[in-house]
Amino acid sequence: MPPSACPRHFSTGSVLRLDFKMNSARVRRAFIALGSNLGDRVEMIEKACLEMDRAGIKVKRTSSLFETAPMYVLDQAPFMNGVCEVETTLGPIELLDALQSIENTLGRIKLIDKGPRSIDLDILLFDQEVFSHERLDIPHKLMLERDFVLRPLCQLIPHEHPPQLEKKTRTYQEHLQTLPPPEPTPVSTTPIAPYFPSLHATDPTRTTHVMAILNLTPDSFSDGGKHSPTDLTQLTETVRKFIAQGATIIDVGGESTRPGSVPVGADEEIARVVPAIKHIRTSIPEAANTAISIDTYRASVAEAACTAGADIINDVSAGLMDPEMLPTAARLGKSIILMHMRGTPQTMTKLTEYPSGVIPEVSAELRSRVAAAEAAGIRRWRIILDPGLGFAKNQPHDLKILRDLHKLRGAEGLECLPWLMGPSRKRFIGHLTGVKTPAERVWGTGATVSASVAGGADIVRVHDVHEMWQVVRVADAIYRTQ
């Protein structure tokens, strides 16, 4: 929903009129508001971002997407709002022309002022310039008085100041903090698939998703050899059982990432996972509304799996083990889980030093992976994070993360993102309980799953679906505001 009307912060009588005839080699930074409330709102915004890239308006970073109530014309659907940072060699009016051309290409028809629209692209800021024209004012009018503009903008430049001709003003974050809380509160949105509900990480009433682990490997630490990629009858029974027990996501893996595991190669991994994913998608009707994630760090495996029907890429290395992973995920337009790990499964147990504390260092390292994902073209609203319990971490680290997950969720630069927690049957549970056999660590896993929900996890990845669904159900009732 676009900002409009005249703000008290920028009086047109004092605004400098600038005539931009720019050298085409000069790259400028601008911030564009994104809005839609018709049709598939996320899809329309994503198409607009792709069209900007094609037009040479390089989308560098995006905010989360927030579902917000309409203003002025109240009898219309909620909006999806966000902001993107772009680089362009165009001047302000040229940029405006390009954005309006994209709106027209995507079928925007303006029937009612401030009414429904399929796509809305508004220039908020252009470098630190103040610009006035009969068609355009920069900064955009009323932007400092609108939560649905400042909330996403503050994810990108919270500590910057609005451009002005006189003295320093508040930062964008300070402006946001002065606004009255909107009603209802906007909720962040992470799309998964057309047939699967989006994640809403900032909604206190959300329910936690149960992700069932389907390892098609002979050597996974807990269930190696249990599920065969060639026995489709057993696969059908397993998936049906997972869904009946409460799983909403099936995580399919074709290579073990347990400590010291031996890589199998992309061809073998594809041979294990692709037939299974195709079978789930085409031959198990009960799975029609179930999301499938592919547990891999290889770009070629991720692409083959997504072509076969996977919805989410679950990369334990957050793109570090295959430089093609992040560009591939961006091109595929899939949501991706970025997990914190150091080194490889073969070396990670030697990389467990966190001199500044596990929470600050995991936060910082995940921020760098989010930045790398954005640089590769992955939109922020397509990112899910995982702190990587047991990966380059020892028992005290795992317990600290479970205890302080809320601090990770609130860390600057990681706000409003969904989180996955994968504590199931982990080694630290065995150390604490003395239970040596991973499959028998159900009770200990239950405690960690409950702690994950209390800390704000959006997804828990588990082996024991029936038992952990019950834990999640009760934990949601305790910790999620109803």
Determine contact, residues 109/66, Cβ cutoff 8 Å.
no
Amino acid at 235: L
31/126 Cα distance (integer angstroms)? 7
Determine which one of 17, 426, 441, 480 is catalytic. 426
d(CA 108, CA 473): 43
- The secondary structure element, H or E, covering residue 399 is helix 395-403
* HEC secondary structure over 56-80: CCEEEEECCEEEECCCCCCCCCCEE
Q: Is residue 473 annotated as a catalytic residue, yes or no?
A: no
Residue type, 120: D
Of the candidates 60, 461, 473, 480, the residue annotated as catalytic is 461
* Residue found under tokens 């076969």: 308
| Side-chain-side CA neighbours of residue 366 (13 Å) | 30
Q: Long-range contacts of range 359-367, CB-CB < 8 Å, 24 or more positions apart?
A: 359/400, 359/401, 359/404, 359/407, 359/408, 359/411, 362/387, 362/388, 362/401, 362/408, 363/407, 363/408, 363/411, 363/413, 363/414, 365/340, 366/318, 366/338, 366/340, 366/408, 366/414, 367/411, 367/413, 367/414
Annotated catalytic, 41?
A: no
Q: Which residues contact 440 (CB under 8 A, 6 or more apart)?
A: none
- Residues with catalytic annotation? 426, 461
